[in-house]
Structure 1
């Protein structure tokens, strides 16, 4: 299965207590997606 930059940018995760900071995860996914587009 190939992953397109748009798939990375729009990936969502379930939130749980003591999990990762959702904003930080989204910022990182956007950065990765932008890098793959170039």
Structure 2
């Protein structure tokens, strides 16, 4: 199992984008996009 540099970079970018998405979803309502209750306290 061998990854070349371009595959490694692509996976790293994908992981970073997914992390940002999860981070945003953790503080907002997925349906409305508004801050969730925990964020408002």
Computing the radius of gyration from Cα coordinates, the structure with the larger value is 2
More helix by share: 2
Q: Taking structure 2 as the reference length, what is the TM-score of the superposition?
A: 0.46
* Highest RCO, 1 vs 2 (Cα 8 Å, sep ≥ 6): 1
Q: Taking structure 1 as the reference length, what is the TM-score of the superposition?
A: 0.50
